[in-house]
Amino acid sequence: MKGKLIIGLVVVGLIVFFGISVNNGLVEKEEKVESAWAQVENQYQRRADLIPNLVNTVKGAADFEQETLTSVIEARSKATSITINASDLNDPAKFQQFQQVQGKLSGALSRLLVSVERYPELKANANFRDLQAQLEGTENRIATERKRFNNTAQSYNTAIRKFPASIFASIGGFERKAYFEAEQGAQNAPTVDFGNS
């Protein structure tokens, strides 16, 4: 009887030790997802901070299209008004909403930078060129951080779905994280037209 009790206690101890180990591993992976998300937000904030300087520089071109500037300003306002925190990464709808407003801001900036082609005095402005280079660099950083986030989220999502970790994940309340996805129509090549339309 005493031997069975010892074996039972050892088995229970092993299960508890294994559960603690799995839980700690999942906590570590979840923290990596949240850290990767913070880097994504950091780059989006950098872009949002650069936009007012870009808009003010472009306003200096007397006859620049006001509608284009207005769309950038409005898109920035919407993009900065919607925030998503680490706990929202489990909510695909909130994540999608955040991604949509950021996509609209990217589109408005692209239209602004393309329309600048018609303004040689603006293209020659050193401040504008510097801001344009910084924005282009920021867009690249955003893409890099989004990729890193997706990789980290994929590792975490895989870990919480694998058996036996999935048992401990459901007990511990670990939920699947959303991914960044391509915008609708992204598979279509863009039309580039530098004509004087």
Please compute, for residue 6, the number of CA atoms within 13 A of its CA located in the half-sphere on the CB side.
Answer: 3
Q: How far apart are CA 45 and CA 80, in angstroms?
A: 8
* Residue 109 belongs to domain spanning: 53-157
pLDDT(70) > 70 = yes
Q: Flag whether 64 is in a domain.
A: yes
CA-angle at 63, arms to 134 and 81, nearest 5°: 50
Q: Flag whether 68 is in a domain.
A: yes
pLDDT of residue 33: 92
In this structure, of 27-41, 146-160, 161-175, 180-194, the range with the lowest mean pLDDT score is 180-194
pLDDT of residue 71: 85
Please tell me the pTM assigned to this model. Answer: 0.75
Q: Flag whether 10 is in a domain.
A: no
CA torsion angle for 95, 143, 160, 13 (degrees, to 10)? -120
Q: Flag whether 57 is in a domain.
A: yes
Q: Flag whether 69 is in a domain.
A: yes
pLDDT of residue 108: 86
pLDDT of residue 196: 46
Q: Flag whether 143 is in a domain.
A: yes
Q: Flag whether 114 is in a domain.
A: yes
pLDDT of residue 151: 95
Q: Is the separation of the CB atoms in 29 and 156 below 8 Å?
A: yes
Q: What is the CA radius of gyration of the chain?
A: 24
pLDDT(191) > 60 = no
DSSP assignment, residue 197?
A: -
* pLDDT tens-digit series, residues 73-92: 888 888 888 888 877 888 88
pLDDT(189) > 70 = no
Q: Flag whether 37 is in a domain.
A: no
pLDDT of residue 197: 44
CA 83 to chain centre: 11
Q: Is the separation of the CB atoms in 127 and 32 below 8 Å?
A: no
Mean pLDDT of the chain: 83
Domain count, the chain: 1
Q: How far apart are CA 91 and CA 96, in angstroms?
A: 9
